[in-house]
Amino acid sequence: MTRKQKVALAITDFLLVWFSLFLSVGLRLDFDFELMARFLDNQLWFAAVSAVSVVIFYLFGLYDRVWRYAGIRELIELVIAVTVSLLPFQFLAVLSGGFVFPRTGPILTWLIVIPLVGGARLALRLASERSTRALHRVRVLIVGANDGGESVLRDLSRADSGHQVVGFVDETGKVAATSIRGVPILGALSELPGLVSQNEIEELVLAQLTPGQTSEVVRLTEGLDLRLKIIPAATELVAGHVQVSRLRELRIEDLLERDTIPLEPERIASYLEGKRVLVTGAGGSIGAEICRQVLAFKPATVVLLGRGENSIHELLVELSGQPVQSSICDVRNQAGMRAVFERIKPEVVFHAAAHKHVPLMEQDVAEAISNNVFGTLTVMELCKEFQTGKFILLSSDKAVNPTSVMGATKRLCELLLAKNPGPGFAAVRFGNVLGSRGSVIPTFRSQIESGGPVTVTDPEMS
């Protein structure tokens, strides 16, 4: 609140306490003005009690609160402040034998002041919310009448979200209900273009749709002037992290029409919950996504390790408020990696640090071997020395009958793992990760944005 608002609220409190004192005397004496006159003539006491109350409220910080976001905690603080401000008055009334003020007067005053002072603050909150609603709010249609859609609705319904949810679209055509939390289900997916136009929709939020349904939404809205947002991964939804700030733009991988392989959350949680997890190469697209997924299973901490400070910093900012810490280190640096292991004593290690660009590694063979092979060997030996429970090497499908330097280095890493197995050591071969940095989709996008042509591996290929 501004200084003027604080002064206005303090004056309001002063008058409300004064009025409560008058009302309590009237209630105690059945509004017999002849009996009330003896107490009402001494207005100095009323002014003193009112002034003391305002001072106590100030000391309790009631004029520093943002009442727009007030809740139970603020209500409790208000009750305590009112109680403290009236206690001396109660003692005085009792000790004077009711001469200064009726002995039960302060108790009645307490019962009156709390709803009046609390009501004044509630009025502030309602006025603030009304003014917020008067501002432009983005008109949103949620595509998905399901648990994910309901979760998005709860968050977008906050007064400060800047959004107005107009309705839902039933993605299955089978929902029997006509509304969710009072917001209507306007129609089926096939009716989407008309619903967008009729309701002046500015933004669509896609909630837990299949890839096929997502592709259908993109097709139906092609050419329409609106933004498409999608809720995060299902694991984040399970963890209760769906927030306006986490809604993201639609990505190319969301359109991959392939059946999703269901996860086994209970089994995964048994590996990760409460564990200290180290992810090498966390600044890369694959390493970063592993960090996001791992955090959904409540680890004790996730250490983001990489040698690029900018990418690690960006990931730290994204994951702020979650149990993460960072370490800037090259996996080939044996002393540095040993210090990391001594500091955190990881129980699970995901080794994603590697050079993965096939054409570049054909030119820099020594660097590929040094980073991919010897870096892996360093991490693997430290895992054995520190008795790390799980070590997962992120390999590649290019390790199968390798025809490139990158593929050969990954195959060497797999052989090292096979020759020096540890308990819980494993390798996972990734295929082409759609949308990862340096992969075909970002390359095609860049070529299209620059006016083409679109090339595959070699510009001379036809």
- What is the set of active-site residues? 398
Partners of 185 in the β-ladder: 168
Residue 113 has phi, psi (to 5 degrees) of -65, -45
CB 312 within 8 A of CB 306: yes
Give the rounded distance of the alpha carbon of 246 from its chain centre: 6
Opening angle at CA 234, ends 230 and 237, nearest 5: 85
- As a whole number of Å, the CA-based R_g of the chain is 32
3-state secondary structure string across the chain: CCHHHHHHHHHHHHHHHHHHHHHHHHHHCCCCHHHHHHHHCCHHHHHHHHHHHHHHHHHCCCCCCCHHHCCHHHHHHHHHHHHHHHHHHHHHHHHCCCCCCCCCHHHHHHHHHHHHHHHHHHHHHHHHHHHHHHCCCEEEEEECCCHHHHHHHHHHCCHHHCEEEEEEEECCCCCCCCEECCEEEEEEHHHHHHHHHHCCCCEEEECCCCHHHHHHHHHHCCCCCCEEEECCCHHHHHCCCCCHHHCEECCHHHHCCCCCCCCCHHHHHHHHCCCEEEEECCCCHHHHHHHHHHHCCCCCEEEEEECCHHHHHHHHHHCCCCCEEEEECCCCCHHHHHHHHHHHCCCEEEECCCCCCHHHHHHCHHHHHHHHHHHHHHHHHHHHHCCCCEEEEEEEHHHCCCCCHHHHHHHHHHHHHHHCCCCCEEEEEECCCCCCCCCHHHHHHHHHHCCCCCCECECCCC
